[in-house]
Every structure is written in C-alpha cells, then in structure tokens.
Amino acid sequence: MKRMATTLGTAALGLWAGMAAAADEVTLQLKWVTQAQFAGYYVALDKGFYEEEGLDVTIKPGGPDIAPVQVLLGGGADVMVDWMPSALAAREKGAPIVNIAQPFASSGLMLTCLKEHGINSPEDFPGHTLGTWFFGNEIPLYTWMGKLGIPTDGSDGGVTIQKINFNVDPLLQKQVECATTMTYNEYWQVIDAGLTPDDLVVFKYEDEGISTLEDGLYTTEEKLADPAEVDKLVRFVRASMKGWKYAEANPDEAADIVLENDETGAQTEKHQRRMMGEIAKLTAGSNGTLDPAAYERTVGIVMDGGVITKEPEGAWTHAITDEALN
C-alpha cells in the first residue's frame, strides 16, 4: 500500500512538472528601470496572476541604453511598454508595432517651475528657459508653445527650449526656470531637495490639453497574425490588468513587491510607496482598453509636433482587450 502511494505521488509530481513545463513563455520589456511605474506587472507576477493564466512571464527592466522597440523587433520580448509618441514615430519609420492595451488612462507629465522666477501662468513663459527631455518627450511642450503662439527659438517674446537629462539638477541649479517632471517621480526629487510645493508652480499637461498617452502595451503585427500568440497576449493582458487593479487597491504592498524585484537596490521604500500612490491615479478608471478619443488627441499632438507626417493606420487594436475582458 505504501509503495502504491509512493508511485501515485511520483506520478502526480510528474504530472505537475509537465503542467509547469507547458506554461507559455511571455517576455515583457519595460520602458525604464524597475520602479512602481510598472507595479502592475510585478504584482501580477508575484501574486501568481500570470501563472493562473498558464503563463511563464519574464520582466526585463529598461534603462537609458535600452530601446524597447529594438528589443521587441529583435525578438528579445513579446510585449513592450512604451509611450505612444515614440511608438507612433517608430511605426512611421517602418516598425510594425501595435498598441494592444492602455493601462494608463491619464498622463503624469507636467512642467514644474520655480515660483521665484515670476511664472504663474503660461503667459509668463516668454523670456524664460524651459528644460525638457527629448527622444519624443519634448513634442507636447513644443506643441503647447505653438498653440500659445510662443516662439521656441529664444527670440524676443519667445522661450528657449533646453534639452536636459532625466533629472532635476538643471532646475535646482537654476540653469532653467522650468523643467519637465513626472507627477510620480521627478517632482518629488525637487521636494526631496528641500523645496516645498509653495516654492513651485506646476502645469499638468493633462490640464493643459496637451497630454499624450503613456505606458501602453505594444506587440508586433506578426504576433497579432498568429492565433496562438494572440491567445497568449489575451491571457497576458488579462493578468496584467488584474495586477494593476490589485496595485491600485493595495499601493503599499505593491510598492514593496516592486522593491523585492529591484535587483539594483537603488530604490527606496519611501520613494516607491509615494510613486505608487501617484501611479494609482493614472491607472484609475482604466480596464486596459484604449480610449479612441485619447488616441486621436495624441496623434494630433504628435503630428503638430512634426514627429509623424500622416495619420497612422493599424497603430492600435481592441482585439486583445475585447477578448481579455469577456
């Protein structure tokens, strides 16, 4: 009897091992380093949401020297996280990438100015230097200045647009009067440097009508043409959105999960918990389905900024989210 039980136990273990081996592999390439900006994916991994969908998911952190679209097209990932302006630019240049889900419903991008420079409204911009990131991140700012009728060449009555790195040093060192920040990251770097909200004036791109879609999920046309890949993508998006909703409801736990996955040890509990609180505001109300109106707004801004020259075709699909949400 004991021998039979042992045999059955071995058989069960063998069956379980076979089931584990049968899990479909999916690799996600992030836009930036491991932080709460991507908490939903780490939560889905940690809580077993991907495993429940029969997926074996690998999450690859990004960084300053990593171009997600190149990783995706090179076969190093099945899905990538990217901002839509850069994705649209890549598509116009021939990259067959498609937005399959949009976890972020709103933008966290804003312009933060030092109040001491007398900038209290957009009408006060002329004569000042505005710092911004490039690589497509500068487009909303240029479009905004265009709508305000403010030249960006530093001429009289205009502003000077200065390229800055992904930090707030130029603002703190007063090399620029305003700088691009994210609600969940660089803004708090300014606060941690010793300034207070009363020392600052912020202009949220969302409020100014110049926001573009951020942190969408993209794959290739080739994968969308393969039923087996589509099935994996549906399960991946469903589990990912479950992760995002859990992160929204449990922000401190989500931040802790991110910290556990940060192999660099560079992140801190204070910063990640604060970041997760802000990120939850951006994913709130989203079930992962792309809002066509937000897409059209993004396309208009990107076209006005000269990043793309024509209305794109096939740049997004509801096919994956429609199936994932059923």
CA 292/CA 2 separation, integer angstroms? 63
The pLDDT assigned to 102 comes to 98
**List of the chain residues with pLDDT < 70:** 1-21
φ and ψ of 28, to 5 deg: -110, 125
CA 237/CA 255 separation, integer angstroms? 21
Q: Full-prediction pTM beyond 0.95?
A: no
What architecture (CATH level 2) is domain 109-208? 3-Layer(aba) Sandwich (3.40)
The pLDDT assigned to 42 comes to 98
Three-state DSSP class for 117?
helix
The pLDDT assigned to 228 comes to 97
Strands 97-101 and 109-114, by their bridges, are unpaired
C-alpha to C-alpha distances, 46 to 20, 50, 157, 215, 260, nearest whole angstrom = 16, 9, 53, 20, 10
The pLDDT assigned to 96 comes to 98
Domain with CATH 3.40.190.10 in the chain: 23-106+213-324, 109-208
Q: Which CATH class is domain 23-106+213-324?
A: alpha beta
The pLDDT assigned to 22 comes to 82
The pLDDT assigned to 8 comes to 42
For 135-144, the pLDDT digits (tens) are 777 888 988 9
Output the CA torsion 178→182→184→187 (10° steps): -10
